[in-house]
Structure formats: structure tokens, C-alpha cells
């Protein structure tokens, strides 16, 4: 899975401490599916990042990251969207705290459809309309808008890591596709 | 309840025909709760119309109206929002067809919390962020933005007709209030 | 699509009248996806009917039917589940009126993913756990429990009419599959 | 707030370690609103525990508890329901992982409507129909079924700690009340 490495966003915990906590507690994440909508609210495109993972692989992923101590979920969503898509993305954060699903990433493959070798992460998944210009930041090589049809293509699905291909399909189903 | 009179929006059905159908079939509606959101998606205000009803009463109401034959739900939502709030309202239609609740309006009081003397209406209820300027149109006298606290005030609640006071509280609960 | 013919369930409207209304108003439906759950609430099977449609074709379908005048949505759901699955099915009706999605069936193919040659139907879709024994009734030839994997098989999907194959996939996505 | 003390349910973490983690990471919880439903799925009662909190106060609360490392959310829900309501409660776990809301408990009052002096907890909230007999266990003094009207009574609301009164109202709103 392509969750970004945590050091950069965790002033409150040393790398050793977060590594230790990752062995002992489920870690709270948010996953955002960036979408373009037309005037009727119909999805016209979904956004995927192309990233080098910590193990050196290249894969595609959603916007994803940890919720910090004493941080609101909304603040974490905005922070990760700005970190990955840049300051001009203009994400429209959801009005309701209800996620469209909850993804449980386990370090053991097969416990659930979601896999993260580093940790047990529980992620609240939201669809986020994005109205501005997206420019990949930091460890992201590229950000691409795909039509729902392109996103469902099996070859594209195979490029997405950690079970997020399923999460993307669940988001499209939630949007009526 | 302050559902607008149907003539204006029904080129496909005469007044007599729709009156007849209203006695025999549930009529499909949409209810929209207009909201203002801050940058984090947190609701800062909800919008209510002040209207003269068909029986001459003055009350407050949500944006509400019928879905026409062969009309998409999204198109009906946009049509009623533009009809009630004017062409500069810039509503952000929901990306998902899933309503936050379904309100069943019965012509008999007490069957459900929702009441409409003219018909059995089933209404899909959506929260709709509105970013532009709202100007009441047609039979609406006024459009007001209220804070969530003001909207929950019992006196304000008492001015809302047909059970839509409950619908507004359900929307606020859905938004985390 | 395999919506059952309406005569049997409509004491309030003659066949001519409902045929006329079908040309002029969206007709309100419910769709139920019957599921078996294990003790943890995980779906182990989904139920599909095998039916002869009004045009003489054989296809698979969900439990589906019209909401009558002055009928609660819950009552309509229970009525159609008992009509299709028999009196011993023991369906567990949803506690919340919020459907997992809304399917818009149009008489014109391509307007939406859902198609019904007879009418414009708007259907509230619910997942309904069923704990008892199911015996197909009336025009249904057979009722089968399929694993989620079997239900997603493209050959099985091809046997399902009117876009309900998509509705089934949306239900599975909503359930975390 | 009346989250149960964690020692009893955490074989994987010593008391000191969990206390340390609570100062540095959001802790993952589940909240369950036990309900009785009639044959149509309509809620007839909601269940509340009467508990002595860690500070010696007596208050009412929902079923609530931590998600352990490598534990499924469903397993955590079932474990806490059985721990609080006893082995004969027969809870019907939700088929979908989508919670009706997410409650963010902060150790600082006022950051959100939810408060927990011991930690920053993020809790997935589910409505859980319960069909068997409930007997309070361990630190719970009593378990009571209340009608929705009784549960909304301001005096009852005042007996519920940590913001769970709001969570209960949000659950009732989600159920159409």
C-alpha cells in the first residue's frame, strides 16, 4: 500500500515511537477519492496519484494519510489533500462526517481486502470533489484524472496497491456507477 | 406543508390529471437543505424560505418539489433550487444519489412525522451546499440563512410546516450537530 | 427488467389507470437485496429470483415492486419480500429509512444505467438480511442463494435484467466487497 | 465519558503503554446504540447502560470500547456488546461497515461535541438491533430499554456523559425520528 511515510507529518511522535505504536494499536487514517463533478453533481473523473512506495515500487494510489493526535478528521483530510495535490486544488470537504465506507488495512494479507505491510490501519474513506488545479507534491510523481470507465479498467486496477483498487470501485458504486 | 403548487412545473400533466394522480399514487419529491460550509466542510448556516402556502398561511420551508416524468433526480434538484433561490445560487449538487433520509408525507396526520394535506409524497432529502447569492423567486417572500443554533430554536422550528422541522433536525444530525 | 406486473398488488388503481399514470409520472418502487449474514454481520450469500418476465424472457432479479398509495415504504418492502420469498422468509427490515442507493429506471435505454421498458420508476434500494426459509411464489420459478463471488461472475451478471446487475454490485460494494 | 477502563480488554498492551499511547495517538473506538425493532424494522426502544465511571460518577452510556491491534471492527463490536449486555443479547451486527456517524472525542472540552478526559478517541457509531435478553456485566449497574420519547427527554439526556446524548439523538435522527 502506498500510505506516505509518516515522519513528515508527525511532530508529536518520533519515528521509533510511531513504529512501536504500529505494532500495538490500530492506526487511524483517512482515504480521499478526488473527483471532478459536472454541474449536476455527476462524477466525470477520479484522481489517482503515481507514487514510489517505501519499498521502491511504483504504483497508483488515492490520497491517504494518518490522523494526528488532537487533530480533527476534517483537518487531516484537508492537510493530506493539500500535501498531495498542492495548494491550488480547492478540495470541497464533505459536509457530513459519515464516510462512504471504512477500510481496514491489515499487515497480514487475507484478513480483509486491504493490506498494509507496516501496520493495522483503519481508514475512513470519503469522496472529495476537487475544483482547482492539482500538482503532485513530495513523493508523488504524477497526478492523473481518469474517467470512471478508465478507472475500472483491469490494467489500471492492477496498478493500484494495497486494496485501494477495491476502495475506488466502492466509491464509484456509491456515486451510482 | 409548503410544497409549491404543481402547475408551474408540470408541462406533462394537466392540473386535473395531477390532482387525480395525487389521490391514487405516491408522488415523487425531492427536499433540499441549503447549507453554507466553511473551508473544512463544517456547516455554518442553513437556508430557509419564507412562503405563502396554498391555504394562505405564511411559513418557513426547505427547497422542495416534484420529480417530473422522465426527469433525473439531479435535474429535479437543480431545477427546484434555481426556481426557489434564483440563478446565481451556485448549488453544489451531491455526488452520490444516496439521500441522507427519505421523508414520507401522508395526507392523514399521524401516519408518519410528515404531513401534506394534498397528497402522499415520498421525498428524497439531500443536503446541498450553496456558494452563490440566493434571491427568493416566485411564491417565496424571503430566503434567510440561519446558524445551526438559530435553526434549532423551538420558535423557529414552530414556523416550519409539514414536518420539515424534523427534516431539518435530521439534516443537522447527519452533519454532526 | 423483471418488475412484477402490477395488477396483483394494486386494489386502488385499475390496470388502465396505472398504465396511464406510467406514461406521465415517475412510479415509486422499492428494490430489496436479500442477504444471509454470519454472526459477525458479514454477508455470506445474496439471493436472486429466477423469473419469467412479461415479455416471456427468463431472467434473474432482485425482490422489487411498487409502493402503493398511502403505504409506508417499510410495509411495501415487507409485502414484496413475503410475496416473492414466501411467508417463512423472516426478513429483517432495515432500521433506517436511508437506502444504500436510489435506482432510476427509464423507459429509454441509456438515460441511466437502469432500464424498464414500461415506465419511469424510481426505486429505493435496501439490503435485507433474511433468516428463514425462502420459497419462490407466484411468477418466480426459483430462488437461489449465491456467494458474493458467484454473484459477481460475469455469466451470472448477464442473466440479471434491467440494470439490476449493477444494483447488486452496488449492494456488495456497500457491504464492503 | 464512560468508556470502560482499558486494562480488561487489552492483552496486547500494558496499562503504562496504553496510557502513553493515549497521549500521542488518536485511539480507535466503536460506539453501539442497542435498539429493539418491530416487525417492520421501526425502532421501539433504545438501550442505555447505567455505569460507575473511573472518576466515581454514575451516568448512562452507550455500548462503547476500543478496537484492539489486528482486530476486525465487527469483532470489536461483538466483543463489547457481549461484554456489556451479556452472552444472551443476540446482537444483529450491521451488514455494512459504513457507520451512521463518526464521533471525535477530545480530551479538551469544546473542540468537538464529544469529550473524553483520558484521550483523543475516534469512534465509529453503529445502530445494532438486539433480539435477546440483556444482562449488564462487569462495571455496568443496570441496562434499560427506553422508548425514543423517553430517550429524548432532557432529564434523561442530562444523565448521559461525554456527548453520547448527542450521539443517541443522531442515531434516532438516522432512524427517522
Nearest CB to B97 within list C71, C102, C107:
C102
CB A105 within 8 A of CB A115: yes
Three-class SS state of A90: coil
Given an 8 Å threshold on Cβ–Cβ distance, is B173 in contact with D176?
no
pLDDT in the model for residue D44? 98
Q: Do B102 and C106 touch (CB under 8 A)?
A: no
Q: Do A37 and B93 touch (CB under 8 A)?
A: yes
Contact: C12, B24; criterion CB under 8 Å? yes
ipTM over 0.85: yes
Can you list the alpha helix ranges (DSSP code H) found in chain D?
15-22, 73-85, 148-152, 154-158, 164-174
In the predicted structure, residue C51 carries a pLDDT above the cut 70? yes
- Average pLDDT (C17-41) is 91
How do B114-115 and B101-106 pair as beta strands? parallel
Q: How sure is the predictor about D53, in pLDDT bands with cuts at 50, 70 and 90?
A: confident
Among all residues of chain B, which has the CA nearest to that of A131? B92
Name the minimum distance, in Å, from the CA of D44 to any CA of chain B: 14
Minimal C-alpha gap between D170 and chain B (Å):
5
Q: Up-side HSE of residue C23: CA atoms within 13 Å toward CB?
A: 7
Q: CB C153: neighbour CB atoms within 10 A? A: 12
- Cite the DSSP H helix spans in C1-160: 15-22, 73-85, 148-152, 154-158
Nearest beta carbon to residue D74 from set C41, C75, C96: C41
Instruction: End-to-end CA distance of chain B: give it in Å, rounded.
Output: 25
A27-37/D101-106 β-pairing = unpaired
Sign for the pseudo-dihedral over CA of B64, B66, B71, B73: positive
Chain B within 8 Å of D169 (Cβ-Cβ)?
yes
d(CA C152, CA A166): 14
Domains of chain C from N-terminus onward: 19-174 (3.90.79.10)
Asked if D74 reaches chain C (Cβ–Cβ under 8 Å), the answer is yes
Q: Which residues of chain A neighbour B175 with C-beta distances below 8 Å? A: 95-97
With beta carbons under 8 A apart, name residues in chain D contacting A13.
Answer: 24-25
Q: Which of A21, A71, A102 sits opposite D98 (nearest CB)?
A: A102
Where does B29-139 have alpha helices with state H? 73-85
Q: Does B174 touch chain A (CB under 8 A)?
A: yes
Residue among B16, B70, B111 with most chain C CBs within 10 A, to mutate: B70
Interstrand relation of A121-129 and A27-37 (parallel, antiparallel or unpaired): parallel
The mean-pLDDT minimum among A138-152, B82-96, C51-65 falls in: C51-65
The x, y and z cell numbers of residue C119, run together, are 415506465
pLDDT for the residue numbered C13 = 64
Q: Which residues, at least 6 apart from C150, have a Cβ–Cβ distance to it below 8 Å? A: C156
Chain D interface includes A166 (CB < 8 A): no
pLDDT over 50 at D5, yes or no: no
Average pLDDT in the A136-154 region?
92
Give the pLDDT confidence score for residue D1 in this predicted structure: 43
Confidence of residue D4 (pLDDT cuts 50, 70, 90): very low
Pick from A32-36, B66-70, B173-177, D22-26: least confident:
D22-26
Q: Lowest-pLDDT range, A121-135, A158-172, B7-21, D160-174?
A: B7-21
Alpha carbons D66 and D80: distance in angstroms, whole number = 8
Specify the pTM. Answer: 0.91
Average of per-residue pLDDT values in chain C? 90
Q: Which three cell numbers stand for residue C165?
A: 446487475
Is the CB of B111 inside 8 Å of chain D's CB atoms?
A: no
> Among B14-23, B106-115, C1-10, which stretch is predicted with the lowest mean pLDDT?
C1-10
Q: pLDDT band at B24, cuts 50/70/90?
A: confident
Please check whether residue D113 touches A, CB under 8 A. no
What span, in angstroms and rounded, lies between the C-alpha atoms of C177 and A114?
11
Interface of A with D in 53-72 (CB under 8 A): 67-72
CB atoms within 10 A of CB D83: 18
CA distance A18 to D24: 9
> What pLDDT digit, counting tens, does each position of A70-104 carry?
999 999 999 999 999 999 999 999 999 999 999 99
- List CB contacts (< 8 A) between B42 and chain A: 74, 95
A169 and C174 within 8 Å at the Cβ level: the answer is no
Let me know how long chain C is: 177
The residue ranking higher by pLDDT, D58 or C39, is: C39
Residue B11 has pLDDT above 60, yes or no: no
Q: Which residue of B has its CA nearest to D42?
A: B112
Q: What is the largest CA-CA distance in chain B?
A: 48
pLDDT at residue A143 greater than cutoff 60: yes
Testing the interface with A: which of D25, D66, D93, D108 to mutate, by most A Cβ within 10 A?
D25
Contact in structure between B28 and B22 (CB atoms under 8 Å): no
Residue for cell digits 489486528? Answer: D70
Name chain A's partners: 3 or more CB pairs within 8 A.
B, C, D
Interface probe for C, chosen from D82, D95, D132 (most Cβ of C below 10 Å), is D95
Contact C67, B122 (CB under 8 A): yes
Cα nearest neighbour of C73 on chain B? B104
Amino acid at each position: 500500500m502506498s500510505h506516505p511515510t509518516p515522519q513528515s507529518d508527525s511532530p508529536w511522535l518520533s519515528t521509533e515511537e510511531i513504529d512501536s505504536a504500529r505494532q500495538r494499536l490500530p492506526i487511524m487514517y483517512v482515504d480521499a477519492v478526488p473527483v471532478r463533478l459536472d454541474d449536476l453533481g455527476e462524477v466525470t473523473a477520479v484522481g489517482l496519484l503515481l507514487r514510489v512506495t517505501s519499498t521502491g515500487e511504483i504504483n497508483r494510489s488515492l490520497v491517504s494519510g494518518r490522523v494526528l493526535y488532537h487533530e480533527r478528521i476534517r483537518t487531516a483530510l484537508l492537510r493530506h489533500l493539500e500535501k498531495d495535490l498542492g495548494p491550488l486544488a480547492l478540495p470541497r470537504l464533505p459536509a457530513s462526517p459519515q464516510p462512504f465506507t471504512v477500510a481496514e488495512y491489515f499487515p497480514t494479507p487475507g484478513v480483509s481486502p486491504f493490506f498494509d505491510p507496516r501496520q493495522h490501519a483503519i481508514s475512513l474513506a470519503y469522496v472529495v470533489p476537487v475544483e482547482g488545479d492539482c500538482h503532485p507534491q513530495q513523493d508523488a510523481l504524477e497526478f492523473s484524472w481518469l474517467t470512471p470507465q478508465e478507472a475500472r479498467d483491469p490494467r489500471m486496477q492492477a496498478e493500484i496497491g494495497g486494496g485501494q483498487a477495491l476502495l475506488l470501485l466502492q466509491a464509484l458504486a456509491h456515486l451510482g456507477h
